Amino acid sequence: MTDLTAQSRKFQKELNSGTSSLVLLSVLNRSREPMYGYQIAKMLEDNGPDLPLMKQGTLYPVLRSLEENGLLESTVEPSVSGPPRRYYKITEDGRSALTEWLEIWKQTKKFVDAILKG
């Protein structure tokens, strides 16, 4: 990330603003147990590219806004090691949104790839 120019960082940020919602919904859809922020961040890090595309701190406001829109729900539980943790779980609305978003993502990906290949 440090090698990128300011312009490229801005481009990456703009891309992330859409994809991070999709990624988070899909992670929580696949997970059987409710997950907390750090867990999700670790999971993304383990599965992601070598060069992290987004800062972990940017995931939290997205989780919060997804919850506000009713796509996720959360509970706070105390933890042994420190402050209480917020566990997120996908809702029914979230699942149906994910199905639609995946379709949009597929279309977008196909379109962009087609244009880029020329």
Partner 1 sequence: MFNTVEEYLDALKVEMKGSDSALMQDALADAREHLSTALAVARESDAELNEAEALKIIVDEYGTPEETASAYREVERRTSPSLKPTAKPRSVLSRFFGIYEDPKAWGSLLYMLISLVTGIVYFTWVVTGLSLSLSLAIFIFGLVFAIFFIFSLRGLALLEGRLVESLLGVRMPRRPLFIQKGTTWFEGLKTNLMDKRVWLALVYMFLQMPLGILYFTLTVTLFSLSIGLMAAPLLQLIMLFPIVSFGSVQYFLPIWSLPVFLLAGFLVWTATMHLGKLIGTWHGRYAKWLLVSE
Q: How many angstroms separate the CA atoms of 46 and 54, rounded? A: 13
Stretch that binds partner 1, among 24-32, 62-70, 97-105, 106-114 (CB under 8 A): 62-70
Q: Which of residues 14-33 bind partner 1 (CB under 8 A)?
A: 17
In the chain, beta strands by DSSP E: 35-36, 72-77, 85-90
Listed residue (73, 71, 62) closest to 95, CA to CA: 71
The CA angle 19-28-45, to the nearest 5 degrees, is 65
**Least Å from the CB of residue 20 to partner 1:** 10
Q: Does 69 bind partner 1 (CB under 8 A)?
A: yes
Contacts with partner 1 by CB under 8 A lie at: 17, 36-38, 41, 45, 52, 55-58, 60-62, 64-65, 68-69, 76, 79, 81-86
